[in-house]
A = this chain, B = another copy of it.
Amino acid sequence: MNVTIINIGDELLIGQVVNTNASTMSKLLTEAGMKVRKTMVVGDVYDDIRAAVDEAMRESDAVLVTGGLGPTKDDITKKLLCEYFNSELVENEMALQNVKRIFESRGYELTPVNRVQALVPRCCEVLNNDLGTAPCMWFGGEAVLVSLPGVPFEMEWLMRNRVIPKLQETFSTDIIINKNILVQGIGESFLSDLIEPWELSLPENVKLAYLPVAGLTKLRLTARLPHNFPLSSFHFPLKGLYELAGKYIVGEDCETLDELVHKTLIEKGLTLATAESCTGGNIARLLTAQAGASAYFKGGVVAYSNEVKESALGVKHSTLETHGAVSEETVREMAEGVRERLGADLAIATTGIAGPDGGSEEKPVGTVWIAVADKTHTEAKLLQFGANRRQQNIDRSTNQAYAMLIRLICQKD
């Protein structure tokens, strides 16, 4: 089945806001086995929205519309939907109870302006929006139209919990199961050659996608199963993949390596400290952006200057003098120093030249040393990123460090 997405909002057309709704919706629909044919962004202009809806309804099985449902802004979307479906606005009891519930929970009085949020076209079915006051409206028919609020976290909750299940039911779509496998330390094209025999052996209902990002390749397996398939009897055929590329696989069932590190450390009850130079705090902040990081994250040092490498991490002055700040000796002392001083089981350290300036002939921009340490070992690795791009070098160093940490932890099992 084909889906068209229409995101409404002037803020999207002036570039004030990046349209993450389109990509979130596309990702969720794709993962659920539906095909997004087209996405469109139009402003808060009646005729433009109408033309987009007309076109989309002609060409798609389902049209998902976000935006234009707020209580104060000109509520063009609902009026337009009334006209399109030849219906009229009525107060919906479920939507009204939802608005009341949310206002009560926040300790606010319900005002007449807010009560307007419970008005919907008579012909629609309201899908309850547990997280907000704007209703989600389902219009059945030859092609389905669903109107959702544009607030990203409300939209995403509604997509996952209301809209996608109902689309799957309505169109009796196949069951789609996804599995992520995180692969690191091998380029995409080499990986592709290496695992080709396994890929060719995959059953026809299992598809493989390569999603490379910052030195990591996420392999996404997608299985399409008949509507009534007993899920417990399905397993992805991973044996051949592990036989061919097991040493490059760092984990499964996570979207990112920071998520994998977060889960692994919590699961194993290990603590971590970080000593970052060229990554500038990025390794720490991705971990601490996740709720529950305080269970394992002791702290970190962003050791940008040599003085700080000495005073806060205990890197020896002679090491910096002899080998320089970007060297194996320094990164090892950084990792060992921060682990000991912060009293952690494990440590990560980075030092390098992120660019665009600061390189030399011997150590060009993109030269990065990374170390991971536990109580008994320290592993260090030299990376040479050719590209003269600061953020990319930071992101790749971050992923490399996480992968080395996971490998260090898992060797110990």
What is the interface of chain A, defined by CB distance below 8 A to chain B? 12-20, 22-30, 36-43, 48, 52, 55, 209, 211, 273-274, 276, 279-285, 287-289, 291-294, 297-305, 307-308, 311-312, 341-343, 354-358, 390-391, 394
When distances are taken between beta carbons in the complex, the residues of chain B under 8 Å from A358 are 294
Q: How far is the CA of A304 from the CA of B294 in the complex (A)?
A: 7
Residue with the greatest number of chain B CB neighbours at <10 A, chosen from A211, A276, A312: A312
By the criterion CB–CB under 8 Å, are B27 and A38 in contact? no
Q: Is the CB of A19 within 8 A of B17?
A: no
Are the CB atoms of A298 and B308 closer together than 8 Å? yes
| Residues of B close to A41: CB separation below 8 A | 22, 38-40
- Give chain B residues whose Cβ lies under 8 Å from the Cβ of A279: 285, 288
- Contact indicator A17/B13 (Cβ below 8 Å): no
Query: Which residues from chain B contact A299 at a C-beta distance below 8 Å?
Result: 301-305, 308, 312
- A280 and B284 contact, CB distance less than 8 A: yes
Other-chain contact of A342, B40, B311, B343 (Cβ < 8 Å): B311
**Contacting residues, chain B, for A52 (C-beta < 8 A):** 38
Interface pair B282/A302, CB less than 8 Å apart:
no
Q: List 16 A-B contacts (CB under 8 A).
A: A13-B37, A13-B39, A14-B36, A15-B26, A15-B28, A18-B19, A18-B23, A19-B19, A38-B43, A284-B302, A285-B394, A288-B304, A289-B391, A289-B394, A297-B302, A298-B304
Give, as a whole number of angstroms, the nearest-CB distance from A64 to chain B: 13
Residues of chain B lying within 8 A (CB to CB) of residue A305: 294, 297-299, 342
Q: Which residue of B lies closest to A272 (CB)?
A: B304
Does A280 contact B291, Cβ atoms closer than 8 Å?
A: no
Q: Indicate if the CB atoms of B342 and A308 lie closer than 8 Å.
A: yes
The list of the 3 closest CB pairs from A to B, nearest first, reads: A15-B27, A280-B288, A281-B281
A48 to B299, CA, bound (A): 51
| Cα-based distance from A357 to B291 in the complex (angstroms) | 8
- Cβ–Cβ contact B19 & A24, under 8 A: no
In this complex, what residue of B is CB-closest to A52? Answer: B38
Pick the contact of A281: B15, B19, B48, B285 (CB < 8 A). B285
| A368 to B61 alpha-carbon distance, docked (Å) | 48
| In-complex Cβ contact of A16 among B27, B273, B276, B282 (8 A) | B27
Shortest distance from the beta carbon of A366 to any chain B beta carbon, whole Å? 13
> Are B43 and A30 in contact, CB atoms less than 8 angstroms apart?
no
Q: CA–CA, A52 to B22, complex, Å?
A: 17
- Checking B16, B26, B302, B390 against A12 with a beta-carbon cut-off of 8 angstroms, the contacting residue is B26
Q: Do A291 and B390 form a contact, CB below 8 Å, given A39-B40, A280-B284?
A: yes
Q: How far is the CA of A298 from the CA of B281 in the complex (A)?
A: 13
Nearest chain B residue, comparing its CB with the CB of A27: B15
Inter-chain contacts of A12 with B (CB < 8 A): 22-23, 26, 39
Q: Beyond the given A281-B288, A285-B394, A291-B356, could you list 14 further A-B residue pairs with CB under 8 A, ordered by the A residue number?
A: A15-B26, A22-B41, A38-B42, A38-B43, A39-B40, A40-B40, A55-B55, A279-B285, A280-B289, A288-B302, A291-B357, A300-B301, A300-B302, A311-B341
